[in-house]
């Protein structure tokens, strides 16, 4: 749609404003709605009547209060169930990948393993990307930034259980296998809401990672921007980190999470 002209329908805009008022207060009288929206009572009554006719608003004759109707719930449920995490994430990650000429991953947790369900390669593919794991392969939670973010969602007891069950092994000279150091990194990931990997799975290949949350605020995935250590953790480090975290927030927002 062209942005050069204003196609806004004023009556529809007012109806949408009324529906949004219920986010802060689930039930309101006609007078409260009229005062809050700055719309006259007669106009507000017509808006509410129209919305009620199609189930978008409900009216309780006993309390004389209006609330959201079930039609909105049905539409919201249908939208939520149709969301495709991989499709949504890939759209954002491709932009992140192309902008920086680096590879991006989307990772999901499966019990104590991290599965890379999506691998996004930049349009101009650097040779080093061929060294990285392919889509569908697995990694250990403790040796990845996304994995540590997932572990940061666990309780202390659950983290202890994880370390009792996992066999810590080195994949490179930089792989951290000290439990106390790993616990500190996990705690740090939870506090900062981002994490990283410093050549712990592939020599010299590092990553910056951020979590993706669903409507309920639960971490359901993580994303990473991967590159050579001297580049990713060089002069543009702050810019790369901001891009990764803002991309994760944009994906989370599209999944219904209220980004702060």
Which residue would you say has higher pLDDT here, 260 or 47? 47
Q: What pLDDT digit, counting tens, does each position of 79-127 carry? A: 655 558 888 999 999 999 999 999 999 999 988 999 888 889 887 765 5
The residues, ordered by sequence, that sit 6+ positions from 48 with a Cβ below 8 Å of its Cβ are 18, 30, 33, 57, 59, 66
Phi/psi of residue 3, each to 5°?
Answer: -100, 5
pLDDT number for residue 225: 96
Distance CA 139, CA 141 (A): 6
**E strand or H helix at 232:** helix 229-232
Q: What pLDDT digit, counting tens, does each position of 146-169 carry? A: 999 999 999 999 999 999 999 999
pLDDT number for residue 110: 87
pLDDT number for residue 186: 97
Lay out the sheet containing 57-60: strands in order across. 28-29, 65-68, 57-60
Q: Are 159 and 183 in contact (CB under 8 A)?
A: yes
pLDDT number for residue 2: 46
Q: Does residue 4 surpass a pLDDT of 60?
A: no
Q: Are 66 and 58 in contact (CB under 8 A)?
A: yes
Q: What pLDDT digit, counting tens, does each position of 175-205 carry? A: 999 999 999 999 999 999 999 999 999 888 8
Query: What average pLDDT does this structure show over 228-247?
Result: 95
pLDDT number for residue 77: 65
Domains located in the chain, CATH noted: 10-80 (1.10.10.10), 83-254 (3.30.450.40)
């Amino acid at each position: 749609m062209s942005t050069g002209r204003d196609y806004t329908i004023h009556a529809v805009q007012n109806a949408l404003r009324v529906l949004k008022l219920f986010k802060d207060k689930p039930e309101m009288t006609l007078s409260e709605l009229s005062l809050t929206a700055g719309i006259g009572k007669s106009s507000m009554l017509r808006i509410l009547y129209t919305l009620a006719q199609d189930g978008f608003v409900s009216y309780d004759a006993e309390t004389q209060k209006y609330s959201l109707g079930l039609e909105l719930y049905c539409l919201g449920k249908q939208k939520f169930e149709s969301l495709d995490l991989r499709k949504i994430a890939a759209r954002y990650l491709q932009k992140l990948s192309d902008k920086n000429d680096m590879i991006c991953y989307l990772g999901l947790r499966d019990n104590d393993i991290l599965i890379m369900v999506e691998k996004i390669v930049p349009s101009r593919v650097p040779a080093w990307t061929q060294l990285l794991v392919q889509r569908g392969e697995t990694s250990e939670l403790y040796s990845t930034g996304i994995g540590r973010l997932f572990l940061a969602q666990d309780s202390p007891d659950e983290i202890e259980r994880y370390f009792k069950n996992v066999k810590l092994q080195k994949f490179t000279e930089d792989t951290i296998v000290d439990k106390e150091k790993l616990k500190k990194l996990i705690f740090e990931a939870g506090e900062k809401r981002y994490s990283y990997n410093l050549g712990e799975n592939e020599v010299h290949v590092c990553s910056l990672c951020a979590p993706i949350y669903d409507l309920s605020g639960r971490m359901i995935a993580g994303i990473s921007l991967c590159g050579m250590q001297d580049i990713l953790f060089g002069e543009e480090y702050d810019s790369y980190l901001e891009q990764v975290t803002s991309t994760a927030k944009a994906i989370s927002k599209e999944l219904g999470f209220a980004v702060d």
